[in-house]
Amino acid sequence: MTKILANLFSKMDLLESDKTVNLLLGRLAPSYKSVVFNMADNMMIAAIAHAFEKSEKEVKQKYREEGDLGNVAETFSVSSGRLDIIQIYKQLLVTANLEGEGSQDEKVNKMAEILKSVDSLSARYLVRIPVGKLRLGFSDKTMIDALSWMIAGDKSLSGRIKKVYEYHPDVGALVREVKKHGLEKGLSKFKLEIGTPVLPMLAARLKSPSEMISKMGEVSVEPKFDGLRVLIHFQKNTSPLAFTRNLNEVSHMFPELESLEKYLKADSAMLDCEAVGLDPKTAKMVDFQTTMQRRRKHDISKSQKKVPLRFQIFDLVYLNNKSLINDGYLSRREKLEQIFKKNQTFWVDEKTITKDPEVIKKKHQQYLDKNLEGVIVKKVNAKYVPGRTGWRWVKMKEVEEAAGKLSDTVDAVILGFSRGRGKRASFGVGQFLAGIKKADKYVSITKVGTGLTDRKFKELAKRLEKIKSEKKPREYDVHSDLEPEYWVEPKQVVELAADEITKSPKHSAGLALRFPRLVKFRDDKDPSQATTLKEIEALHSLQS
């Protein structure tokens, strides 16, 4: 796959290179640029019917037979048109940018116009892009490897390219600039800048405070909040931007950011923080699901009053047009503490510097008593390194100290569900099959039917009904004995707790969660950020 892509990269025209890369990934731009189609299956069914002069009933019947709208379009297509990449891209971009009253009909008509202008094989893939079902098995990482292969004939340059990608995650632009200028000069074009999110630094896991000190030396011990991870971009005299951990731009969620300039003594800054919801009556922190109510795009002022927010700021990665990612953690924290005026909306996290495991244990319990998630422990001289690498940041949750419990929760993707019997059947779902990431596949690891209230069962049913798949997605690796009644697209991430991890002859992960329980829906996470098999294997070894 990588070799084929590398060959394609070498043949691409410079002007079409970034567009081709994004189309191969099933999108028009990186997620932080917020270019989305907002086209559901029913809209695409209408577009196919309009393009090929069929009734929607005929298209739906063929969809039931094929299980793939792309195949349906290919079957009905009679065109032999040949639009080039740039023409296709421009027309898809126009379609995605249609909004306002009547925009759904306009999108359908525009998509029909595009389908009539291409050959049948092109129609198959074009249909899959706006509905998010291209499924070529590519990721940004695949593109980085292919770029390395194009230059060196192997993946030896992937690490260097990835380092730049981590603070400028636009792989299409990387391919374009490297093709245009060569590796060194091409990569030098990219800098950390306001408006382009850096990939977030993540916490690893260690078994005990003693092991933390042994591996990390002197550390900063800080509270861990149950909120929404947000990277705030501030530029004086302009509206601040906010990005989630999966790089979606969500500034609309946070009108509070408009007051940031009053409290920040800086011309520009990137702030890493946790947005935590507050009870408007008691000012106490609320749970994650309540905080996530702020994700709505309409009636923001209403949701702001219902769930006011506080931003718990813990890191500074850019200040006054200068990158700080290569500075030590304490150096970054000192600068962070110097630039904020005291206020009630933007709080700099407290910290305790120590080399003593007992201090970590004590702070952990103190934060648990305050209904927080315990502590996060950070190596004092660590650079800001995106991802979960090395022992720079580690977390310690309550379950780590509970006998017979798994040392951390698992972020899994729902693969399918069954309706069940009795009362649960009336909810529409009785249990669901959950999986984790293994390279470009999702492998099953557990079935979950507990940890849900009646209300959660009903909410789960609504969520899964929207992403039902006519056929098993090809990236799923599931044993035939475990297949659910209904498959769903890999879109819903859930956080699961369990008592332990056991070996499993049936689950394709080779391991299974014992006594799994749903903790919460992780709407702040993309399926690509689900727990990996490698991480599960590490948890399994920690357990023993």
Element (H or E) spanning 323, and its range? Answer: strand 322-323
Out of 179, 224, 351, 397, pick the active-site residue: 224
With H, G, I as helix, E, B as strand and everything else as coil, classify residue 119: strand
Contact assessment for residue 212 and residue 374, using Cβ atoms and an 8 Å cutoff: no
Torsion angle of the four alpha carbons 459, 463, 465, 471, in this order, in degrees rounded to the nearest 10: -140
Task: Work out the end-to-end distance of the chain between its first and last CA atoms, rounded to an integer number of angstroms.
Answer: 38
Contact assessment for residue 315 and residue 272, using Cβ atoms and an 8 Å cutoff: yes
Contact assessment for residue 240 and residue 257, using Cβ atoms and an 8 Å cutoff: yes
Q: Angle 108-110-111 (CA atoms, 0-180°, nearest 5)?
A: 65
Contacting residues for 420 by C-beta, under 8 A, at least 6 apart: 429, 430, 431, 449
Tokens of 413: 């993707």
* Crossing angle of helices 69-76 and 120-128, rounded to 10°: 150
Alpha-carbon distance of 190 to 170, in angstroms, equals: 10
Q: Which amino acid is at 287?
A: D
Provide the sign of the torsion angle of the four alpha carbons 284, 285, 287, 291, taken in this order: positive
Alpha-carbon distance of 481 to 464, in angstroms, equals: 21
Alpha-carbon distance of 219 to 213, in angstroms, equals: 7
Provide the sign of the torsion angle of the four alpha carbons 68, 71, 75, 77, taken in this order: positive
Query: Residue 122 gets which letter from DSSP?
Result: H
Element (H or E) spanning 114, and its range? Answer: helix 103-115
Alpha-carbon distance of 148 to 367, in angstroms, equals: 46
Buried b / exposed e over 204-227, threshold 16 CB at 10 Å, is bbbebbeebbeebeebbbbbbbbb
Alpha-carbon distance of 472 to 374, in angstroms, equals: 39
Query: Residue 197 gets which letter from DSSP?
Result: P
Q: Is 224 a catalytic residue?
A: yes
Alpha-carbon distance of 370 to 373, in angstroms, equals: 9
Return the number of other C-beta atoms located less than 10 Å from residue 160's C-beta.
14
Q: What is the 3-state secondary structure of 408-474? A: CCEEEEEEEEECCCCHHHHHCCCEEEEEEEECCEEEEEEEECCCCCHHHHHHHHHHHHHCEECCCCC
Active site amino acids:
224
